[in-house]
Amino acid sequence: MRARIRTARKAMVVAAVASLGAGLLAGCADDGGSDGSGSSGDGKGKTTITLGLFGTMGFKEAGLYAEYEKLNPKIKIAENVVERNENYYPALLNHLTTNSGLQDVQAVEVGNIAEIVNTQAAKLEDLSKISGVSKSNWLEWKWQQATTKDGQTIGLGTDVGPMAICYRTDMFKQAGLPTDPAEVAKLWAGDWSKLVATGERYQKKAPQGTTFMDSPGGLLNAILSSEEEKFYDSSGKVIYKSNPAVKNAFDLTAEAAEKKLLGAQTQFQPAWDQTIANNKFAAMACPPWMLGYIKGKSQPDAKGKWNVAVAPKSGNWGGSFLSVPKSGKNVEEAKKLVAWLTAPEQQAKLFKVQGSFPSAQAAYDSPEVTGAKNDMTADAPIGKIFSEAAKQIPVQVIGPKDQIIQQGLTDNGVILVTKGKSAEEAWKTATKTIDNNLDQ
Amino acid sequence: MATRHDTAAPPAKEGGAAPGRPPAAGLPEKEQRRRARLSRRWQRDVRWSPYAFVSPFFLLFLAFGLFPLIYTGWASLHQVELTAPTDMDWVGLRNYTRIFDDDFFWNAAKNTLTIGIISTVPQLLMAMGIAHILNYKLRASTFYRVAMLAPYATSIAAASLVFVLLFGRDYGMINWALDFIGIDPVDWQGDKWPSQIAVSSIIIWRWTGYNALIYLAAMQAIPQDLYESAALDGANRWQQFFHVTLPSLRPTILFTVVVSTIGASQVFGEPLLFDANKGASGGAEHQFQTLGLYLYEQGWVNQHLGRASAIAWTMFLILIVIGIVNFVISRRLRASSEEFRP
C-alpha cells in the first residue's frame, strides 16, 4: 500500500515534470523554417527549386508543382510557407539585406513591393528579360508596381484584388433597398459619398442590431485604393497630410462612423469574424479572395445570400509578386519556373481552384474566369464583375511606407470615431502617430 | 567569505596538481629533458586549461552579449534604417536628445510604470497568500504546486490569445458576465485603465504561481520551533504569519520584488498580443504601449534602427537606475533587520 502511494506520487511528479518540460520546449520551438537555404540536387540528378511563400498562395493546392515537375522531369519543387506576411516580410528583408538564407524564389506582397523595388532591386533578377515573358500579358498597373525607375522588373505578378461591393440580398431587401446587382451599383455609381448615403437609407429600416458596412478600416481602404495618388506623389514625396483625396476619404469614413453606419471592429480579428458569422452587417468592400474568407467564417445558412455589385470606383486590394534573388542557387531554373507559374494559363487555373484573381489580363477571357461562380453569391457572374473592375483600376502611386501610413489612419484614426472621438481628434491622433513612425 | 590561508590549499605552483617528483639528478640527460618537457607542459596545462574551460561562456557572451550591446550603442549615434543596415549617417546624440520631447516615449514609460505597479503588487500579495495556504499540510500538495506552475509553463502567445477572447468588447466572456450582473460592457481594449488592467491580468495570471513557489520554498526553510514557541505564547495563525513568517521571508521578498521590477520594466509579449490590430502601437491611442513595445515598433515595424537603438540604451540606463534604487533600499532594509535581531 505504502509503496503504491509512493509510486503514484512519483508518477505524478514525473508526469508534471514531463509536461512542464514539454511546455518549455514548445515555447522555445518557434523555428520559423524560413532559414532553410536552397539546396540543389537530391542525389538523383534532379535540381530542387525552393520557393519562399506566405499564407496560402495555392500553387501546390492547384497542382501546379506536380504539373511542372511532369513537364520538366529534372526539376523538383519545394515550398517553404510562413503563415502571416507580418512574419514573412521582415525575415525576407533581413535575408535580402544580408544576402543570405534566401530561397530560389521569394514571394512579395503588394503592400511591400514598393519598398522592395526602392531598396532591394540590386539583389533581385530582372524578370522582364526571360524569354516568353511579355509585359502585355499583365495589367499595366500590376507590371508597373514591380518595375524600378530604370526599367528593371523584379517581380512577376501572381494575383490581384479588384474590389467590388459584396452585399447581403436578404438584408438589403428587409431595409427596402433594391437587390439586383445592376440596380444596386446604380445607387452609388461613381461616387463614394453616394455609398454612404445608401448606408443612411439602409440604417433607417435596418434589421435590428445590424450596420450597413463592416468596419471603418474596410471603407477607408476601399476609398483609398481607388485613388491614383494617395500617400506619395509620383516623385516619391510623402503627401498624405496635404493630399485632399486622403483627407476626404478620412472624413467620409469618419462621417459614416459617426452616423453609426459602420461596425466598430478591426478587420480580420476574431470579433470581426463573429460579425460575419452573426450577420451583423449588410455590405463590405470585397476583392475576389474575400468571398473565400466570408465562406470560411459564415454559418451554413448564409450560403447564396450574398451578391456582388460594382464599387463606386474601382480599386485594388491585395495580390502578390514572385521574385528571384540573385544569390539563389538555381537562378536560371528559378526564372523559368516563375515565368511558367505566372503565365495566363496557370493564373486561370489558380483562380479556378483557389479564387486568386489573375493579374494577367490575357486570362480574363478564359472559361475559368468568365464562367466563375461562388457558393456564397448564388448565380452572380463574379468573374465578369471582377475582371471589369480589374481593367479599370488606376495606375496607383504606391510608396515604401504605404502600409504604415494606412495602418495609422485606420488603427489610430477612424477607429477612434467609433469610440466617440470627433473626426478632427481622430485625424490629429493618426497624423501624430504616422509622423512619428515615418521620422527616421 | 574570505579565504582562511592557514587551512586553504596553497596556490598551485610548479607542476600544479601533478604528483611531486624526486629531483631529476642522476638520470640520463635524455630522460631529464623529457621530464623537463613534461613539466613545462603540465605548467602550461595548469595555467591555461581553466581559461579554456570557462571560455565558452565568455565567447558566447562576446558574440551575443557584448557585441550587440556595443553595436546598438554605435547604431544609436547614427541615422540608419533596417532596409540598409550598412548605410549609416552620423547624427551624434540626436536620437537621444529627441527622446526628451518624444511624447510617445514618455507615454510608453508612464504605461510601463502603471502596468508594472498594477501587475506586480497584487501578484506578489496573492503569491504570498497562496504560498501560506500551500504551506499547511494538504492532501495532494504536489498536485497543487504543479498546478501553480502550469501558467508559467504556458507560452505567452497562447495565454494572451485566450485573454484577448475573454476580454473581447462585443463577444467576450467577461463582458457577458458583467452584463449578467447588470454592469455595462467595458471596452477592455479601447479605454486606458481597462486595457492596462487587462494586460496586467495576463501578467498576474502567468507569474503568481511562480512567485508563490519561491515563497513556499522559503517558508519551508523556516524552523518549525519558531512556530511552536509562538503557538505556546498564544499567537494565532495570523499573528504567526505576521510575526514569524513575514520577517523570515524578508530576503526572499526582496528578491522577488527585484526580479518582478526588472520583468515589469521589460513587459512586451502581453501588450503586443493583446493589441487587436496585431500592431505594436499598444492600442488606438497608445494606451497600453510599453517601452518594450515602443522599441519594437520603432525598430521592427518602422525599421528605424538608429532610433530603436537609442531607445534600447535609454531603457538600459533606466534599468540601471532602478537596479541602484533596489540595491540601496535592500541594503537599508537588511541593515534595519539586523538591528532588531535578538
Secondary structure class of A229 (helix, strand, coil): strand
Q: Tell me the ipTM for this assembly.
A: 0.78
A83 closest CA partner among A125, A113, A40, A52? A52
CA quadruple B152, B155, B161, B162: dihedral sign:
negative
Interface test with B, best of A88, A273, A429, A440 (most B CBs within 10 A): A440
Q: Which CATH number fits domain B102-339: 1.10.3720.10, 3.40.367.20, 1.10.3470.10, 3.40.50.2300?
A: 1.10.3720.10
* Number of neighbours of residue B121 by Cβ within 10 angstroms: 14
Q: Could you tell me if A76 and A209 lie in one domain?
A: no
Residue A374 in any domain: the answer is: no
Residues A134 and A184 both lie in one domain: no
B interface test, pick of A20, A436, A439 with most B CB neighbours within 10 Å: A436
Q: Is the pLDDT of residue A413 over 90?
A: yes
Supply B159's cell numbers: 495565454
Q: What SS3 state is found at A411?
A: helix
Q: Are residues A155 and A207 in the same domain?
A: no
pLDDT at A198 over 90: yes
Looking at the DSSP assignment, which residues form a beta bridge with residue A414?
none
State the Cα–Cα distance between residues B179 and A278, nearest whole angstrom: 19
Do A248 and A333 fall into the same domain?
no
Displacement of CA A382 from its chain's centroid (Å)? 18
Give A13's contacts in chain B (Cβ within 8 Å).
142, 146
CB atoms A20 and B146 under 8 Å: yes
* Position A20 in a domain: no
Instruction: Tally the domains of chain A.
Output: 2
Least confident window among A8-17, A156-165, A365-374, B322-331: A8-17
Answer yes or no: are the C-beta atoms of B187 and B169 closer than 8 Å: yes
Question: Residue B18: pLDDT above 80?
Answer: no
Q: Does any domain span residue A378?
A: no
| Statement: residue A222 has pLDDT above 90 | yes
Q: Which residues on chain A are in Cβ contact (under 8 Å) with B173?
A: none
Q: Does residue A213 sit in the same domain as residue A77?
A: no
Mean local confidence (pLDDT), A326-344: 93
CA atoms of A440 and B81, how far apart (whole Å): 8
A166 in the same domain as A156: no
Confidence band of A233 (pLDDT split at 50, 70, 90)? very high
Q: Is the per-residue pLDDT at A424 higher than 50?
A: yes
- Burial label, B25 (beta-carbon count in 10 A; 0-12, 13-18, 19+): exposed
Separation CA A426–CA A413 (nearest Å): 5
| Beta carbons of A5 and B134 less than 8 angstroms apart | no
Look at residues A346, A361, A392 and tell me which one is the last residue of a structural domain: A346
**Would you state the pLDDT for residue A372?**
84
Of the pLDDT bands very low, low, confident and very high (cuts 50, 70, 90), residue B322 is confident
pLDDT at A168 exceeding the cut of 70: yes
What span, in angstroms and rounded, lies between the C-alpha atoms of B218 and B252?
7
Question: Any idea which residue has 481594449 for its cell?
Answer: B189
Convert the pLDDT of each residue in A62-92 to its tens digit. Answer: 899 999 999 999 999 999 998 878 789 888 9
From B205's Cα to the closest Cα of chain A, the distance in A is 16
User: What is the pLDDT, as a whole number, of residue B196?
Assistant: 95
Looking at residue A177, its pLDDT comes to 95
Q: A320 forms bridges with which residues in the sheet?
A: A109
Whether pLDDT at A354 is above 90: no
- What is the pLDDT, as a whole number, of residue A25? 44
Q: Residue A262 is part of a domain; what is its CATH number?
A: 3.40.190.10
Mean per-residue pLDDT, A146-155 = 93
| Amino acid (one-letter) located at B295 | L
Q: Are the beta carbons of A153 and A314 closer than 8 angstroms? A: no
Question: Are A140 and A207 found together in one domain?
Answer: no
> Which amino acid appears at position B215 of this protein?
Y
DSSP of B96-136, one letter per residue?
HHHHHT-HHHHHHHHHHHHHHHHHHHHHHHHHHHHHHHHTS
Which residues on A lie below 8 Å from B154 (Cβ)? Answer: 23
A273 and A207 fall within a common domain = yes
Q: Residue A377 domain-assigned?
A: no
Contacts of A240 (CB under 8 A, 6+ apart): A230, A231, A232, A246, A405, A409, A434
Q: Chain B partners of A88 at a C-beta cutoff of 8 Å?
A: none
With an 8 Å Cβ cutoff, the interface of chain A facing chain B consists of: 9, 12-13, 16, 19-20, 23-24, 26-27, 86, 90, 93-94, 97, 115, 119-120, 264-266, 269-271, 274-275, 404, 407, 411-412, 415-416, 419, 429, 432-433, 436-440
Coil vs helix vs strand at A278 = coil
Domain range spanning residue A279? 161-315+384-439
The terminus-to-terminus CA distance of chain A in angstroms comes to 72
Decide if A270 and B168 are in contact by the 8 Å CB cutoff: yes
Domain boundaries, chain B: 102-339
A156 and A287 belong to one structural domain: no
- Burial tier of B164 (Cβ tally within 10 Å: 0-12, 13-18, 19+): buried
Q: pTM for the complete prediction?
A: 0.80
A289 occurs within a structural domain: yes
Q: For residue A359, tell me if it sits in a domain.
A: no
Considering the domain boundaries, does residue A365 fall inside one? no
Other Cβ atoms within 10 Å of B45 Cβ, number: 14
Tell me if A6 is assigned to some domain. no
Instruction: Name which of A269, A271, A411 is nearest B281 (Cβ-Cβ).
Output: A411
d(CA B190, CA A12): 43
Confidence check: pLDDT of B116 > 60: yes
Nearest to A433 by CA among A416, A417, A403, A409: A409
Q: Is residue A38 pLDDT above 50, yes or no?
A: no
Provide the CA A383 distance to its chain's centre, in angstroms: 18
Do A246 and A172 share a domain, yes or no?
yes
Residue A18, pLDDT > 80, answer: no
Same domain, A224 and A171: yes
> How large is the C-alpha radius of gyration of chain A?
24
Distance in angstroms (rounded) separating the CA atoms of residues B80 and B89: 6
- A311-to-A12, A222, A316 alpha-carbon distances in Å: 62, 9, 11
